[in-house]
Amino acid sequence: MLKRLSIRTGLLLLLAVMAFLLLVVSSLGLYALQHSSSSLERMNNLQSGQIARMNEGYISLLRARSEAGQAVRQMEIGLLDDAQATLRNIEIGVMRARQEITEEILSGAEGDDEIGKQLQSSLIGDYNTFMAEGIEPMLSALRKNDVDDYYKLLEKDLIPLGKRLDDSVQAFQSWGNQRGNHDVAEIQWQKNIVLGLIILVAAIAAMVIVIGLLALHHLLLKPLNNAISQLEFMAQGDLTQSLPPA
């Protein structure tokens, strides 16, 4: 078969095989980069977007609850003007918290993670309940300077609802951290797979190069060496040597 294969055809065949292997390696690299980029983008949106802004909103709610106790104490000692100023700060904090949480947490879960969707749905429900049955009645009691109503609400609804919301926040944060670790491990695994495939393709390419060089040696260098040997015999005046078969 090699005898019927011309040098030009052999070189073209070798070039085609090398181009195919290069295309395979490039495709693997592009796939790995695209998948890693999408995973990192999803992880960044989760960690830097939803969870970070959720924490900011939750801290604003905790600060509003703390300032509510301060406002009630100011009412008890007769500092009504100071209590109203504190109330305005509380309302601003609640409005900021509602905006931050609504923009990120209530916007819907990303991806197809059912556990994340369930945790987010539970968080949304606990948040809405806490706002409707805890924060809004608290603000109403503070606006009316009703200290007794505030203490009743604090004992009956505000503390239990706050505890439930805190549990939901902690569960969602824990899931977010686990999801981030899972994405990092998946990216590392894919990197190792692609690296192994690239090494395999490189080994195959090296084998093809060696085989190609051996084939070219058989097609080109061996006949050339035979021709040189015959020319040397002819230069010495020896015309009795027979030519090797073509």
Assess if residue 159 is contained within a domain. yes
Assess if residue 185 is contained within a domain. yes
How far is CA 90 from its chain centroid?
37
CATH code for position 28: 1.20.120.30
For the chain, the domain total comes to: 1
Give which of 137, 127, 3, 142 is closest to 67, Cα–Cα: 142
DSSP string over 141-188: HHHTT-HHHHHHHIIIIIHHHHHHHHHHHHHHHHHHHHHHHHHHHHHH
Give which of 107, 131, 132, 129 is closest to 120, Cα–Cα: 107
Assess if residue 54 is contained within a domain. yes
Can you give the residue range of the structural domain that contains 171?
7-200
Assess if residue 236 is contained within a domain. no
Q: Which phi and psi angles does 77 have, rounded to 5°? A: -100, 5
If one counts every other C-beta atom within 10 angstroms of the C-beta of residue 122, the result is: 15
User: What pLDDT does 2 receive?
Assistant: 44
User: pLDDT for 122-151, tens place per residue?
Assistant: 888 888 888 888 888 898 988 888 888 888
Q: Does pTM top 0.85 for this prediction?
A: no
What lies within 8 Å, CB to CB, of 94 at 6+ separation is 60, 61, 64, 135, 139
Assess if residue 182 is contained within a domain. yes
Assess if residue 131 is contained within a domain. yes
Q: Are 32 and 190 in contact (CB under 8 A)?
A: yes
Q: Are 175 and 115 in contact (CB under 8 A)?
A: yes
User: pLDDT for 168-220, tens place per residue?
Assistant: 888 887 887 787 777 777 777 877 777 777 788 778 777 877 777 777 666 66
User: What pLDDT does 1 receive?
Assistant: 46
User: What pLDDT does 10 receive?
Assistant: 62
Assess if residue 134 is contained within a domain. yes
